[in-house]
Chains A and B, each alone.
Chain A
């Protein structure tokens, strides 16, 4: 289960968990979270590796500018994890097709 801090900017009121999978492994996310947040709060901070040097990458700009956080969502490659809100049953894959390895 994702952890929450108290006293954050906007009040949290999470009615129920959202079940998604990451590379086939079940994860619990909070409704309204984006994929990047769901991964990070489950302890996954890197989910793809770079093409040339196979270096791990995860969130960087956090607002859709840098494209570092790319994931495959329900088969759609190269989606920005920081922009896509989790939905029940979503299948998330880390290593994008152009990547050699996996972080």
Chain B
């Protein structure tokens, strides 16, 4: 039978939000369990070389690195005091609410499975079941993708994947890079590549710098972001990285690996402007990022109230204490709206404090960061006409190799207008990744060109009854419960 760990507060995710939540809950007196898929704390944002190999953690090269070191010290201290039980290398495959006994005195169960089922790595922690009175979900997000011809070639990576590769391994995944998509995140990715010795041939941003102007007031409210921007500008100048706005990759070239890209300038809606096409040759890595997709499967499994955020993502609705519509269930970080690490930390601190029963004071800094994030989202929209870039043979669902033509046929002839029916009729989203990568694009295609997908359609692709693959042998060993 699976060992059971009990706590006052369970936190899922050890990125900026989760680490902050765990620390705040522990410092408010709660017994905390922190479950994380990663092998060490930090999440994607504060990903770093394995501490077993590089023990000194300098915080260098991370924005907010000092925040990490501070949280990490408090985390280590709370662990030392026995207030935090840390369970790394485990993915939650199912989260359930226990039957409420009285009023809000419900509780939660987390079922976990090893992130990697490799014998050599299983020495530390085996599968655990976590039971807690309060639950804080901080699962973060990942790069949002739009398919484009050739994007399934090896050498094409998520922009965040390139950054994670550099942070985790200290090396580059190639030599000559093109980074494309939209949003401020493209800047640090290109800067990290250049600082690590890679050649960035171009950063292609689909929106326009003038898109910032209407939102200047919000941006001015967060001076540290302006400072960050200035640092990137310096890196770009030092490494002579061309930053091309209103530009996209129209096709990734290559037979069995990326060899180059075709690009073009686009209008405000993302329509290619004829005569602006050009090609980059001798490219070995292309990084794409179109903003972020919050990992919503765990919040959705509780049926939390959701909304569409300014970037078109499905996110959970929370109150000022970060509590979701489900009593006792708190959300922090990207699942409440993509807003970056600083905001995630503030939300995590509030969620952890509230989950532990502490008092959460109104936070002006968080409000400023939310306004800034919203301004950035509005300045960097997914181009409404992006579906025009597809050719019928373009793979949309990478796992099941479903093409754009199959999806539009299902929409046109079988009436599939949402991710659920598209999945039923074409298998898009039914493969290994369960629609994590193609979900947004499929929702757009179901809605039709130029129409933003509905919350319901996005929810259809983000509901995943198994939040992670789990061994059938592990399921067979589950204990009998009364639910």
Contact = CB atoms under 8 A, between A and B. Distances in A.
B is bound to A: yes
Interface in A1-52: 2-14, 30-34, 36-37, 40-41, 45-46, 50-52
B391 interface: no
Interface stretch (B165-173, B177-185, B305-313, B337-345): B165-173
A12 B44 CA distance: 19
A54 to B, nearest CB: 10
Interface in B171-201: 171-174, 192, 195-198
Contacts of A90: 120
B120 A74 contact: yes
A61 B154 contact: no
A12 to B, nearest CB: 5
Nearest to A81: B116
A36 B165 contact: yes
Counting chain B CB atoms within 10 Å of each CB, which of A34, A62, A83 scores highest?
Answer: A62
Interface string B347-385: 000000000000000000000000000000000000000
Given A57-B154, A63-B160, A79-B117, A37 B167 contact: no
Interface residues of A, number: 56
Nearest to A36: B165
Residues of B in contact with A, size category: 35 or more
B401 A50 contact: yes
Given A4-B170, A61-B143, A67 B154 contact: no
B120 A87 contact: yes
Contacts of B160: 61-63
Interface stretch (B268-276, B429-437, B443-451): B429-437
Interface in B48-72: 48-50, 52-54, 56, 58, 60-62
Contacts of B94: none
Counting chain A CB atoms within 10 Å of each CB, which of B169, B170, B196 scores highest?
Answer: B169
A65 B50 contact: no
Nearest to B89: A83
B115 interface: yes
A7 B197 contact: yes
A83 B171 CA distance: 16
A32 B154 contact: no
B233 interface: no
A85 B50 contact: yes
Given A45-B257, A59-B157, A10 B54 contact: yes
Counting chain B CB atoms within 10 Å of each CB, which of A50, A51, A63, A68 scores highest?
Answer: A63
Contacts of A34: 168-169
Counting chain A CB atoms within 10 Å of each CB, which of B44, B162, B173 scores highest?
Answer: B173
B244 to A, nearest CB: 24
B126 interface: no
A56 B172 contact: no
Interface string A60-103: 11111111101001101011101111010010000000000001
Contacts of A52: 400-401
B119 A74 contact: yes
B170 A8 contact: yes
A50 B195 CA distance: 34
Given A41-B171, A103-B154, A63 B196 contact: no
A41 B165 CA distance: 11
A10 B119 contact: no
B436 A66 contact: yes
A9 B161 contact: no
Contacts of A8: 61, 166, 170-171, 195-197
A87 B196 CA distance: 25
Given A32-B49, A34-B169, A40-B173, A11 B164 contact: no
Given A9-B167, A45-B257, 4 more contacts: A6-B197, A52-B401, A61-B161, A63-B161
6 contacts: A30-B169, A45-B155, A67-B432, A73-B116, A84-B118, A85-B121
Interface of A: 2-14, 30-34, 36-37, 40-41, 45-46, 50-53, 55-68, 70, 73-74, 76, 78-80, 82-85, 87, 90, 103
Closest 7 CB pairs of A and B: A62-B161, A32-B53, A67-B432, A9-B61, A5-B197, A32-B50, A37-B169
